[in-house]
Structure 1
Amino acid sequence: MSIAISPVVKAADRAAFIDLPWQLYAHDPHWVPPLKSEMHGLIDPKKNPWFGHADAVFLLARRNGRVTGRISAQIDRLVLAMPAEQGGGPGVGHWGMFEAEDAETATALIKAAEDWLRGRGMTQAMGPFSLSVWDEPGLLVKGHDHSPTVMMGHHLPAYQAWIEGAGYTGVRDMQTYDLDITQDFPPIVQRIVASGERNARINIRKVDKSRFDEEAALLLGILNNAWSDNWGFVPLTDAEIAYAGKKLKPIVFEDLIRVAEVEGEPVAFMMTLPDLNELTRDLDGRLFPFGWAKLLWRLRKPQVRTMRVPLMGVVKRLQSTRLASQLAFMMIEYIRRDALVHYSATRGEIGWVLDDNQGMKSIAETIESTVNRIYRVYQKTL
Structure 2
Amino acid sequence: MNERQISIEPVSGKKGRARFVDLGRDFAAKVPNSVPQLRSEQLELVNPDKNPFFGHARAQLFIAHRAGRPVGRISAHIDELALQMPPEQGFGPGTGMFGYFDAEDEDVAKELLRTAQDWLAKEGMTKAVGPISMSIWEEPGLLVRGQDHAPVIMMGHHPAQYAGWIENAGFTRAKTLYTYDLDVSHDFPPLIQRIVKSGERNSKITVRQVRKDDWDEEVDKILGILNDAWSDNWGFVPLTPEEIDHTGVKLRPIIHEELNMIAEIDGRPVAFMLTFPDVNNVLARTKGKLFPFGWFHMLRWLRNPTGSDMRVPLMGVLREFQNSRLASQLAFMMIDSIRQNASQRFNSQRAEIGWILDDNQGMVAIADAINSSINREYAIYHKPLSAG
If the length of structure 1 is used for normalisation, what is the TM-score?
A: 0.98
Residue 225 (structure 1) aligned with residue 228 (structure 2): yes
Identity %: 55
d(CA) in 1 for partners of 2:12, 2:356: 37
For 1:235, give the aligned amino acid. Answer: P
1:284 and 2:304 aligned: no
Superposition deviation, residue 283 in structure 1: 2.4
Find the partner of 2:137 among 121, 134, 139.
134
Cα distance between partner residues in 1 of 2:307 and 2:96: 38
Q: Matches of 1:293 and 1:86 in 2, distance apart?
A: 44
Question: 1:14: how far off?
Answer: 2.5
Q: Tell whether the 8 Å contact from 2:179 to 2:355 is kept in structure 1 after alignment.
A: yes
Pick one of 182, 188, 192 that aligns with 2:191.
Answer: 188
- The 1:9/1:327 distance shift into structure 2, 3 A limit, reads closer
Structure 2 CA distance for aligned equivalents of residues 254 and 129 of structure 1: 30
Structure-2 residue corresponding to 1:48:
51
How far has the Cα of 1:173 moved from its partner?
0.6
1:1-382 to 2 correspondences below 5 Å: 1-9=4-12, 11-382=14-385
Q: Is the CA contact 1:270–1:331 (under 8 Å) kept in the aligned structure 2?
A: yes
Choose 297-306 or 323-332, whichever is displaced more: 297-306
Deviations 1:86-116 (A, max 9, x none): 1121110000000111111111100110111
Gaps of 5+ in 2: none
Deviation per CA, 1:45-98, whole angstroms, max 9, x where unpaired?
A: 111111111100010011111111000000110011111011121110000000
Local SS of the residue matching 1:69: strand
Q: Which amino acid aligns with 2:119?
A: W
Unaligned runs of 5+ in 1: none
1:37 and 1:299 map into 2 onto residues whose CA distance is 18
Letter of the 1:158 partner, please give it. Q
Aligned equivalents of 1:101, 1:225: Cα separation in 2: 41
State the secondary structure of the residue aligned to 1:34. Answer: coil
List per-residue Cα deviations over 1:29-56 (Å, max 9, x = no partner): 3101111000100001111111111100
- For 1:271, the aligned partner's letter is L
Q: Which amino acid aligns with 2:301?
A: R
Residues 174-217 of structure 1: per-residue CA shift (max 9 Å, x gap): 11011111111111001111111112121110011000000100
Deviations, residues 198-242 of structure 1 (Å, cap 9, x unaligned): 121211100110000001001111111111111111111111111
The secondary structure found in structure 1 opposite 2:29 is: coil
The structural deviation recorded for 1:12 is 4.1
Instruction: State whether residues 127 and 138 of structure 1, in contact with CA within 8 Å, keep that contact through their aligned partners in structure 2.
Output: yes
CA–CA distance in structure 2, aligned partners of residues 283 and 6 of structure 1 = 32
Task: After TM superposition, give the deviation of residue 362 of structure 1 in Å.
Answer: 0.3
Cα distance in 1, alignment partners of residues 213 and 113 from structure 2: 46
Give the letter for the 2:311 counterpart: R
The one-letter code sitting in structure 1 at the alignment partner of 2:337 is: Y
Structure 1 CA distance for aligned equivalents of residues 159 and 32 of structure 2: 12
Whether the 8 Å contact between 1:274 and 1:304 is mirrored in structure 2 is no
Q: Check the 8 A contact 2:17/2:47 in 1, yes or no.
A: no
- Bigger shift: residues 276-285 or 363-372: 276-285
What SS does the aligned partner of 1:331 have?
helix
2:11 touches 2:62 (CA, 8 Å); kept in 1? Answer: yes
Supply the RMSD in Å over aligned alpha carbons: 1.2
Q: Distance in 2 between matches of 1:57 and 1:163?
A: 19
Give the AA of the match of 1:137: P
- Shift, 1:323, TM fit: 1.0
Residue 15 of structure 1, CA deviation: 2.5
